[in-house]
Chains A and B, each alone.
Chain A
């Protein structure tokens, strides 16, 4: 095959694709919406004039722009409380950290092997796993570093995603159906994929007995013992959400609305507009503490408090407990998805994963939100998709 042939073929294979109508106007409108939320009411009024300009230009182009303009922020009918998050105080901003210096961090032993090996070292299944590495062949890793192959269930199909339970004792596999079994062995149990959960959905454990399947349009909670299913509209694969406890969740509002919602089941009970916080992605919750990736929404960040980075917040008020700025000129970490909070250890330490820019390895790092101290916990090849038994770490 020569590359000219390939180029011609790639061109031919996509030559009828045309962009959706009014893409510039829609994306500009969305960008303004995100920005004006941050700047508050006064500048929102100023920006509204410019939005009118955009809509007017749409009329000239399309004639019927009404259906193309994103709807106004929906008013939650069941919300009992709406707050506005305060800005990040300079006093809570820690020294910026460049993840490319991760090797220089001190190592800490939290019961996870310093390096997750992708070589099979054990001939029998592990009893409990601290990590599941999903690559060409899925691997289970025990706390002592023993690695064993996880055999996939028959009939799972060509598309699948795997997840290890927080206690490290069970594994779930979602493909043509949902399968699960004990890590140490036994038969796979199976239940049909719920309607409305699309083929590329993901699976996430809520506890040792319940999972959520997150599809593009909605999520479904499944109790594995009883088989009970409950639709969770907020638990989409494209939206940030996290369990709190029981039936409580924290979830990002609808796309285009920069707010964090508190939910009881599928019912919204409180909402906090993110305002000057910017954007929050990929958050984890423990009690009253939230950790998230913070994305700047300013045109030109002028201070560390306006940068991208890792943020620890008080749930409900969204007051900043600590902010760790991470230089990210090329949007590798925040927008690019290479930075992900994983869990809280106690109330003071956040575990997060990061793929330093240019690195072929992913790292598990501990962040002490009180002191700003960072420690290196573990590492593995970035080509693997890893879930960790968060309930077993440093138990």
Chain B
């Protein structure tokens, strides 16, 4: 395969994967600019290794880079519960339902980065427990326990999330 064909193949793959990766990164970070940085850097790494990755699962590779870069960054700049520094106007940029976007953002911010990653990978990206474990570099049992703890934390610590679900049913 010549260089032009590789470029075309890579471009086609990005077109199919970029939006999902960006939405996933946003849910991981709660910050659209940060999410764009994470996805862009992950795609550069995929592009650098495209000839090796193209026959495998480049989306899984990109997702892994996004998740790990985010956890790594969080460990360098630990933060507590996210503040109310995002308003409805910002939320309207990411969602057709800004109220829901704000509630989800605040609820996810109550989780640790690992718990948050498990929730996003399992319940937004629809990964299996094994796939989630591979992305995070942990055992399947750890994914199970993190998922259970995270969901319980959302139930007990984010009642507005339950209200929202009830309101929309």
Looking at the complex, which one of A15, A27, A238 makes contact with B47 (CB distance below 8 Å)?
A27
15 new A-B pairs (CB below 8 Å) besides A15-B95, A31-B45, A50-B3? Answer: A7-B124, A9-B161, A13-B27, A16-B94, A23-B39, A27-B44, A32-B47, A159-B79, A159-B82, A238-B37, A330-B134, A331-B45, A332-B68, A357-B137, A383-B112
Inter-subunit contact B48/A35 (CB<8 Å)? yes
Inter-subunit contact B94/A200 (CB<8 Å)? no
Inter-subunit contact B7/A385 (CB<8 Å)? no
B65 contacts the other chain (CB 8 A): yes
Across the interface, which residues of B come within 8 angstroms of A336, CB to CB?
Answer: 64-65, 68-69, 72, 137
Closest to A159 in B: B79
User: Given A1-B151, A357-B137, A12 and B68 touching (CB < 8 A)?
Assistant: no
A199 contacts the other chain (CB 8 A): yes
**Complex: A13 Cα to B100 Cα, angstroms:** 6
A143 contacts the other chain (CB 8 A): no
Inter-subunit contact B78/A13 (CB<8 Å)? no
Central interface residue in A13, A24, A300, by most chain B CB within 10 Å:
A13
Central interface residue in B32, B79, B82, by most chain A CB within 10 Å:
B79
A14 contacts the other chain (CB 8 A): yes
Give 25 CB contacts A-B under 8 Å: A6-B123, A8-B168, A12-B96, A12-B97, A12-B100, A12-B101, A14-B23, A14-B95, A16-B92, A16-B93, A17-B22, A20-B40, A25-B11, A27-B44, A134-B78, A158-B81, A158-B82, A159-B83, A162-B78, A300-B51, A330-B64, A331-B61, A331-B64, A337-B76, A385-B78
Inter-subunit contact A337/B73 (CB<8 Å)? yes
Across the interface, which residues of B come within 8 angstroms of A16, CB to CB?
Answer: 92-96
CB 8 Å contact bits of B75-99 with A (1 = contact, 0 = none): 1111111110100000011111100
Give the number of chain B interface residues (Cβ < 8 Å): 80
B154 contacts the other chain (CB 8 A): yes
CB distance from A93 to the nearest CB of B (A): 21
Inter-subunit contact B76/A9 (CB<8 Å)? no
Across the interface, which residues of B come within 8 angstroms of A182, CB to CB?
Answer: none
Give residues of chain A (4-58) contacting chain B, Cβ–Cβ below 8 Å. 5-20, 23-28, 30-32, 34-35, 50, 53-54, 57
Across the interface, which residues of B come within 8 angstroms of A15, CB to CB?
Answer: 23, 95-96
Inter-subunit contact A331/B97 (CB<8 Å)? no
Closest to A330 in B: B64
Inter-subunit contact B36/A332 (CB<8 Å)? no
Central interface residue in B101, B103, B114, by most chain A CB within 10 Å:
B101
**Complex: A27 Cα to B154 Cα, angstroms:** 36
Across the interface, which residues of A come within 8 angstroms of B46, CB to CB?
Answer: 27
Across the interface, which residues of A come within 8 angstroms of B149, CB to CB?
Answer: none
Looking at the complex, which one of A20, A23, A158, A383 makes contact with B114 (CB distance below 8 Å)?
A383
Inter-subunit contact B68/A14 (CB<8 Å)? no
**Complex: A161 Cα to B120 Cα, angstroms:** 25
CB distance from B90 to the nearest CB of A (A): 11
B15 contacts the other chain (CB 8 A): yes
Central interface residue in A24, A201, A297, by most chain B CB within 10 Å:
A24
Inter-subunit contact B14/A24 (CB<8 Å)? yes
Inter-subunit contact B7/A28 (CB<8 Å)? yes
Inter-subunit contact A28/B26 (CB<8 Å)? no
CB distance from A275 to the nearest CB of B (A): 16
**Complex: A53 Cα to B8 Cα, angstroms:** 10
Inter-subunit contact B94/A9 (CB<8 Å)? no
B43 contacts the other chain (CB 8 A): yes
CB distance from A278 to the nearest CB of B (A): 10
CB distance from A333 to the nearest CB of B (A): 10
